[in-house]
């Protein structure tokens, strides 16, 4: 019996972090519900964004959607069991927002005769598992051009769909004074901000060293590092800050949900990721859409988002290059800064709106499901 709507099951490990969870929530909220019937499967109901996911009013299944594939005999039994779980939900398409190299989900989908799609968020490609995962997929969705060139040059079933954001959500109206008071920032200038989980790939050690050089020109500057900081790397950075004697200048805020408030008070946004690169960091898009001058390291993923602003890139893992770029942007005239802000916002609206992303995804789903009803 032919269905009236295309059923899509989105799988995601959790809603702990704003990046992936928010990206999925944005997509589901914008899907045409006259054509699509979405649902979610995640491993637990914890995380700051889980309540937001519940507010979407779509079915949410709390269950593991991957399984152990070794030893092989046990793996076969596990795959079969997982396929029965998928078949019970019975979607037309499973779209995986699981960013690991697991391929058990894809195998179980195939066994259930369900189309399987995955979004490639990062530049990792260090195991055969990624190749198996990619061969199984009915469609792969890379998030930047360099992924296609470096990872998927031999694949045909790919569709470039960059992550999108709600442009209107990040149109700021004035500074949030509560954040200024909370972190004692009243007499600070410039306020330099980054949003990143405090892990080595984010290059925060290089950023801190570069910021130390900026203090020679701006003694009242502050660096806000917004993101999960209960990590071993965070402890290393705290020691580095202490060694450099800038403990009162670098603020680790921890994970925060009110990102717009931090963007509203900042003078410059920076993402200093290491040379491995990124997939499609949402923080850069949100910063540009907020009207904040934004700079980033010249690496895959970030480079894609700055393709019309190459002068706003700096050499990765080079504190001197970071400092020079920060100073160069800060010392521009107000009129020059406004031109940059306007161009950034126009670029994001044209290339990275959530409406553009969802429109492209819907076309992929319709093609895979062989949906013939007029749209």
Range 6-164+353-369 has CATH code 1.10.3720.10: no
Q: Is the peptide bond before 131 cis (omega within 30 degrees of 0)?
A: no
Looking at residue 375, its pLDDT comes to 46
Question: What pLDDT is attached to residue 124?
Answer: 86
Alpha-carbon gap, residue 282 to 34, rounded angstroms:
28
CB 263 within 8 A of CB 172: yes
Global confidence as pTM = 0.90
Mean pLDDT by 10 residues, the chain (375 residues): 86 85 94 97 92 96 96 94 97 95 97 97 88 96 92 93 91 86 95 95 97 98 93 94 97 91 96 92 94 96 96 98 98 97 96 96 95 55
Q: Which CATH number fits domain 167-351: 3.40.50.720, 3.40.50.2000, 1.10.510.10, 3.20.20.370?
A: 3.40.50.2000
The per-residue pLDDT for 27 is 97
3-class DSSP state for residue 84? helix
Fold match between 6-164+353-369 and 167-351?
yes
- pLDDT value of residue 19: 77
> Quick one: pLDDT at residue 372?
55
Q: Please enumerate in sequence order all residues whose Cβ is within 8 A of that of 28, keeping only pairs 6 or more positions apart, or say none.
A: 10, 38, 40, 56, 58
How is the chain split into domains, by residue range?
6-164+353-369, 167-351
């Amino acid at each position: 019996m032919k269905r009236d709507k295309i059923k899509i099951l989105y799988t995601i490990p959790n809603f702990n972090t704003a990046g992936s969870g928010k990206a999925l929530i944005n997509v589901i909220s914008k899907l045409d519900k006259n054509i699509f019937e979405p649902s979610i499967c995640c491993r637990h109901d914890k995380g700051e964004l889980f309540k937001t996911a519940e507010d979407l009013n779509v079915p949410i299944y709390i269950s593991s959607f991957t399984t152990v594939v070794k030893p092989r005999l046990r793996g076969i039994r596990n795959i079969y069991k997982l396929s029965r779980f998928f078949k019970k939900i019975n979607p037309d398409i499973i779209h995986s927002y699981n960013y690991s190299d697991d391929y058990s989900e894809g195998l179980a989908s195939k066994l259930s005769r369900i189309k399987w799609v995955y979004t490639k968020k990062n530049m990792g490609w260090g195991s055969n598992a990624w190749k198996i995962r990619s061969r199984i997929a009915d469609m792969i969705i890379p998030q930047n051009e360099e992924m296609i060139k470096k990872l998927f040059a031999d694949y045909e079933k790919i569709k470039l769909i960059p992550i999108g954001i709600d442009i209107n959500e990040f149109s700021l109206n004035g500074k949030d004074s509560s954040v200024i008071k909370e972190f004692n920032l009243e007499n600070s200038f410039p306020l330099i901000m980054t949003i990143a989980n405090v892990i080595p790939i984010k290059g925060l050690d290089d950023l801190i060293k570069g910021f130390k050089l900026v203090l020679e020109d701006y003694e009242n500057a502050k660096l806000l590092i917004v993101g999960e900081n209960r990590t071993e790397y965070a402890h290393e950075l705290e020691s580095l800050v202490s060694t450099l004697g800038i403990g009162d200048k670098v603020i680790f805020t921890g994970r925060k949900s009110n990102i717009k408030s931090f963007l509203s008070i900042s003078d410059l946004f920076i993402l200093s990721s290491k040379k491995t690169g990124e997939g499609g960091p949402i923080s850069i898009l949100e910063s540009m859409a907020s009207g904040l001058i934004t700079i980033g390291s010249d690496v895959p993923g970030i480079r894609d988002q700055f393709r019309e602003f190459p002068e706003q890139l700096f050499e990765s893992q080079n504190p001197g290059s970071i400092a020079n770029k920060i100073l160069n942007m800060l010392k521009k005239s107000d009129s020059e800064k406004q031109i940059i802000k306007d161009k950034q916002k126009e670029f994001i609206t044209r290339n990275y709106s959530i409406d553009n992303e969802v429109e492209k995804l819907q076309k992929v789903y319709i093609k895979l499901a062989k949906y013939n009803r007029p749209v």
